Amino acid sequence: MPCPDGCLTGTVPHMAERDEHDKYDATVRLPGRDNPQGGWSTRAGASEGASSGSGQPQTRYPQLGSFGQADEETTATTMPVFSRGTASVPSNSDWASSHDLADSERTMALGGYPPAGYPMDGEETGRDRLVVHVLWEALLCGVVAIASVSLYRLEPEWLTGNALQPLLLSATVLGLLTVGIGLSLRAAVPNLAVGPVAVAAGIFFAEQADRGITLAGSMTFAVVLAVGVVLGVVVVVFHVPAWAASFGALLALVGWLETRDPTITLPDSVVYQPYDHHYYWFGVFVVLSLIGGALGMLPGVRARLGGFRPATDAARRQGAGAGVMAFVALVGSTLLAGLAGVLLVLTVRVATPIDSVSWTGLALGAALVGGTSAFGRRGGLFGTILAVALLVLSQRLTVAMEWSLSRATFGAIAIGLGLLVTRIVESAGRPKRLEETDEAWLGI
């Protein structure tokens, strides 16, 4: 294909091999003076083996300066920094075959992206390494055991008999919120509105409870579903950050809560007591967490669930499949938050429209401490259950030791620790094949 005016032609060095011959596999059309953003970054002083060992002439091309000007002729020995233009890699290229590309002409768009076949953000090749989750969850299990023993020594009656009922129900409420926000985190669409959704659902349920628990519950979940659908549509259709959209929903719900009565008591007609089924409610949380964790372990599900992880370019959409998963995750997390709010009101028999944001902080902290990555997709199996148990036991321990720590304080501490866990999970859970691809792409 002839090069249009304003282009320079050159050759691209072989990106995988660095032998003495300095092979060149592709021809590139580079932008010239008409495109000031074009340019290749090269290193001077190429090996002269290309002209001596292989019988091929040494290949040289003009090096473009910062303004697209041809500065001087320099032998290319390193890979280009991708800018703009197009490059075609022959189907028999060693580099292409080593990166599992199709047996056809490899053409890549040089618009700031890596070569074709190189995994972009959210498109990593290979399986995540799960051993980091196994090790972290084993450590969490030990810490939970220590916290349990410590609480038992201080207040043994809190872990036995009827006193165990509120402990398990508290863990269930926090657990449902954590599973909800964890689901949205795994889908890379963090739902920061789970706390206000839970409190608002409890308030709405209490206000409608005189109509009967069935009708009040149905109306509550219909409204919660509508909130989740609107949030999902905004995030997926308009392709905006979920944290920003959900924070807007959080503010809207807090504004609505400020207009409600400070205390709403359930009428005597609502006779259901979750204390009678505390084991079942806790079991619901455990089963939901295990199902989500087990599905997240499956490579296919894991990759699709995390398909909304941020791409290199914010304008680049991840596809219909990723959008559907993100929408389902946002709606599901909102419904779980609504269930947690209704259960909380049924347990304490009183609804108060305060302290809703701290529930988001505590749930987010528990999800992160459990090993769910703040970047999306990555997460373990038992981490959420163990993190929720640790936070609930820690709250009881502070009460037993007569420390005054609010829910917001616990949430802040948990988020701080959880961010460190995220860094560990991302670094140690990265696919091995991706690391190898990085080295080949960078010429290491």
Domains and CATH numbers, the chain: 7-109 (no CATH), 131-434 (1.10.3470)
- Give me the percent of the chain exceeding a pLDDT of 70: 67
User: pLDDT-derived band of residue 169, with 50, 70 and 90 as boundaries?
Assistant: very high
Residue 355: both structure tokens together: 């302290």
* Helix axes 320-348 and 213-237, enclosed angle (nearest 10): 150
User: pLDDT-derived band of residue 236, with 50, 70 and 90 as boundaries?
Assistant: very high
pLDDT at position 441: 38
pLDDT at position 47: 39
Q: Let me know if 140 is exposed, middle or buried by CB neighbors in 10 A (0-12, 13-18, 19+).
A: buried
pLDDT at position 302: 72
pLDDT at position 326: 93
The least confident of 80-89, 244-253, 306-315 is 80-89
More confident: 138 or 117: 138
Q: Give the CA angle between residues 75, 8, 17 to the nearest 5°.
A: 40
pLDDT at position 312: 64
Most confident of the following: 96-100, 237-241, 392-396? 392-396
pLDDT at position 376: 83
Task: Give the pLDDT confidence of 59-105 residue by residue, as tens digits.
Answer: 444 444 433 444 444 333 334 433 333 444 444 444 444 444 443 33
More confident: 178 or 29: 178
User: pLDDT-derived band of residue 433, with 50, 70 and 90 as boundaries?
Assistant: low
Q: pTM, whole model, 2 decimals?
A: 0.71
pLDDT at position 258: 95
pLDDT at position 176: 98
More confident: 40 or 167: 167
pLDDT at position 296: 84
Residue 197: pLDDT above 80?
yes
- Give me the percent of the chain exceeding a pLDDT of 90: 55
Q: Mean of the pLDDT values across residues 288-314?
A: 79
Q: Mean of the pLDDT values across residues 146-173?
A: 93
pLDDT at position 171: 97
pLDDT at position 246: 97
Rounded distance between C-alpha atoms, residue 339 and residue 335, angstroms: 6
User: pLDDT-derived band of residue 180, with 50, 70 and 90 as boundaries?
Assistant: very high
User: pLDDT-derived band of residue 311, with 50, 70 and 90 as boundaries?
Assistant: low
User: pLDDT-derived band of residue 205, with 50, 70 and 90 as boundaries?
Assistant: very high
pLDDT at position 315: 67
pLDDT at position 371: 94
pLDDT at position 55: 43
User: pLDDT-derived band of residue 52, with 50, 70 and 90 as boundaries?
Assistant: very low
Task: Give the pLDDT confidence of 319-370 residue by residue, as tens digits.
Answer: 788 889 999 999 999 999 999 999 999 999 999 998 999 999 999 999 999 9
pLDDT at position 163: 87
Question: How high does pLDDT run on average in the chain?
Answer: 77
More confident: 290 or 60: 290
pLDDT at position 299: 76
